């Protein structure tokens, strides 16, 4: 008797609950929203059960006629639980947020269907199932982006999204065909265990990298993500239930295959690192809360691609989990953000660190990082160069925090608080790295041995992040310079790349009709 993975039932439950909304299209949903929340809660319970199931009885695969349909392991169980939890939160929030909307029932039905498709995606045991999950997710999200179809901005965002997402689908389909032709299999478990990659498989891996970059709104085709505010706020949160980070899910699922291609890993480092730096710089110039959060997601997805390119798969998965939770919360609470900020008592002029304070903060942060890294290495064993490099990039953010406490006008209490926060952030990085490796490490390949190419990319990434962090720390000193004001305008507009994409798709000529 085959033990059925519990979480495999969740997509069926959600689709069954979504069907009545389609049948009641255009009418008041009545008690159907309560049923939608109940279905999402059942999916969450099944997600919790799947975690317990994989812990007690190990990995499982559900197959039909020799084709792998769904798999249950530590990675898929984690992602399924994450998707089910965020989906339940979004459905519960939307019951009040959209109460009385003419299309309220449509939203609930589409949300349940979207969560079902993402659950299929994260559990896929073969490339055809994975592809079906991606295609279905894109089609449903397009409808959610068109929740207000009369808005030209929503039409433009949906058009950009479906073209970029569809291009990723095409890349994934072509990669699947090449892998089947070259390796003779489409089963994910067999693909990740392939001993070597012939030329056709190498081309397939390049297409997988392209698909992942398109799915995560990487530079320069990130424009649709910055316009998701044209849909209801719950859609922005729902994006973080395995949709915008589905490119990372694809890479982690096929990590063993991707890591055999040094060129693919290098491409992920370059694309991810540049997207992260670009998104972070543009985010600082945004005045609208939701737009700033969208640009933050662009930066975070770039950083996730960078982690995958370095071979830090467990940390990339931890990043997906942590970012999904806090960013979904940030979008759902964005409505009260301005009110809360205005309610806080203003402490007076902000202490601006000078060049000396910034230089000292970076030096202290690096000393702190080396000390903590040495302690963890002695206690728990040697860390890979990639993990240490990633920690160095993280410590540059800590340097910015320390700089505020070292400013000449900073009170002593601020200096002590920033020092304590910096120490905690450094300890947390290594602690969570150990936890992630313990939970998911056995199911993922270890980081590759760093050769000349890997070392060159590591140095390039560390220097790039360091220079940008140093410039950001000094920004208050030159923010009012005329040349800086001009640069700020250009950055606030994302260097006009989104406008170029609009011109390419004819977005400015989109009709204002539903």
pLDDT of 511: 47
Find where tokens 């000449």 sit. 408
Task: Give the 3-state secondary structure of residue 62.
Answer: strand
Task: Give the 3-state secondary structure of residue 510.
Answer: coil
Task: Give the 3-state secondary structure of residue 481.
Answer: coil
Half-sphere exposure of 108 (CA within 13 A, CB side): 39
pLDDT of 177: 95
Task: Report helix angle 152-183 to 199-215, nearest 10.
Answer: 160
Cα–Cα dist 116/18, whole Å: 10
pLDDT of 233: 83
What's the token pair of residue 228? 């998701």
What's the token pair of residue 175? 């990669």
**CA 474, chain centre distance (Å):** 29
**CA 404, chain centre distance (Å):** 29
Tens digits of per-residue pLDDT, 290-306? Answer: 888 888 899 999 999 99
**CA 16, chain centre distance (Å):** 28
Beta bridge partners of 60: 72
pLDDT of 514: 43
Tens digits of per-residue pLDDT, 106-143? Answer: 888 899 999 999 999 999 999 999 999 999 999 999 99
Cα–Cα dist 268/310, whole Å: 8
Q: Spell out the per-residue pLDDT of the chain, length 514, in tens.
A: 356 777 888 899 999 888 887 766 555 566 778 888 899 999 999 999 999 999 888 888 888 877 888 899 999 999 999 999 999 999 999 888 887 777 888 888 899 999 999 999 999 999 999 999 999 999 999 999 888 888 888 888 888 889 999 999 999 999 999 999 999 899 999 998 888 888 899 999 999 999 999 999 898 888 788 877 777 888 888 888 888 999 999 999 999 999 999 999 999 999 999 999 998 888 888 877 888 888 889 999 999 999 999 999 999 999 999 999 988 888 888 766 666 666 665 555 556 667 777 787 778 777 877 887 787 777 767 778 888 888 888 887 777 777 766 666 666 676 777 777 777 888 888 888 888 989 998 989 988 888 888 889 988 988 888 888 887 777 777 767 777 777 777 777 777 887 777 777 665 554 444 4
What's the token pair of residue 130? 């994975």
Task: Give the 3-state secondary structure of residue 403.
Answer: helix
User: pTM score, two decimals?
Assistant: 0.90
pLDDT of 423: 79
Cα–Cα dist 316/305, whole Å: 8
Find where tokens 């812990």 sit. 55
Nearest to 243 by CA among 368, 114, 149: 114
**CA 338, chain centre distance (Å):** 25
pLDDT of 264: 93
């Amino acid at each position: 008797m085959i033990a059925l993975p519990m979480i495999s039932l969740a997509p069926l439950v959600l689709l069954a609950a979504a069907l009545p909304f389609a049948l009641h299209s255009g009418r008041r949903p009545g008690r159907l929203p309560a049923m939608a929340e109940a279905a999402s809660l059942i999916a969450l319970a099944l997600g919790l059960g799947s975690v317990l199931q994989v812990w007690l009885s190990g990995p499982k695969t559900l197959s039909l006629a020799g084709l792998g349909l769904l798999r249950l392991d530590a990675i898929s169980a984690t992602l399924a639980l994450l998707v089910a939890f965020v989906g339940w939160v979004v459905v519960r929030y939307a019951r009040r947020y959209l109460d009385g909307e003419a299309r309220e029932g449509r939203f609930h039905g589409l949300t349940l269907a979207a969560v079902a498709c993402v659950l299929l995606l994260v559990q896929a045991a073969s490339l055809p199932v994975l592809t079906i999950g991606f295609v279905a997710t894109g089609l449903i999200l397009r409808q959610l982006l068109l929740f207000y179809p009369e808005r030209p901005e929503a039409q433009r965002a949906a058009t950009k999204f479906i073209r970029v997402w569809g291009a990723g689908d095409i890349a994934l389909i072509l990669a699947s065909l090449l892998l089947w032709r070259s390796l003779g299999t489409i089963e994910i478990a067999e693909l990740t265990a392939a001993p070597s990659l012939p030329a056709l498989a190498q081309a397939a891996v390049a297409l997988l990298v392209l698909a992942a970059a398109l799915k995560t709104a990487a530079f320069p085709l990130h424009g649709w993500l910055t316009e998701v505010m044209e849909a209801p706020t719950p859609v922005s949160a729902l994006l973080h239930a395995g949709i915008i980070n589905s490119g990372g899910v694809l890479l982690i699922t096929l990590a063993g295959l991707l890591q055999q291609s040094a060129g693919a890993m290098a491409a992920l480092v370059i694309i991810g690192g540049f997207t992260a730096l670009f998104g972070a710089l543009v985010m600082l110039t945004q005045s609208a809360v939701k737009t700033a959060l969208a640009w933050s997601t662009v930066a975070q997805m770039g950083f996730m691609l960078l982690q995958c390119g370095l071979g830090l798969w467990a940390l990339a998965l931890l990043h997906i989990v942590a970012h999904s939770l806090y960013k979904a919360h940030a979008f759902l609470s964005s409505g009260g953000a301005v009110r809360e900020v205005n309610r806080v008592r203003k402490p007076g002029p902000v202490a601006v660190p000078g060049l000396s304070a910034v230089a000292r903060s970076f030096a202290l942060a690096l000393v702190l990082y080396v000390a903590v890294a040495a302690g963890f290495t002695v206690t728990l064993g040697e860390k890979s160069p990639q993990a240490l490099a990633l920690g160095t990039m993280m410590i540059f953010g800590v340097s910015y925090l320390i700089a505020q406490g070292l400013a000449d006008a900073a009170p002593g209490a601020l200096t002590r608080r920033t020092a304590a926060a910096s120490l905690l952030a450094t300890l947390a990085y290594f602690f969570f790295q150990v936890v992630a490796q313990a939970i998911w490490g056995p199911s993922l390949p270890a980081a590759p041995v760093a050769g000349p190419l890997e070392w060159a990319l590591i140095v390039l990434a560390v220097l790039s992040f360091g220079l940008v962090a140093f410039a950001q720390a000094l920004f208050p000193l030159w923010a009012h310079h005329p040349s800086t004001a001009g640069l700020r305008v250009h950055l606030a507009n994302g260097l006009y790349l989104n406008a170029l994409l609009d011109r390419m798709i004819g977005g400015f000529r989109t009709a204002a009709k539903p």
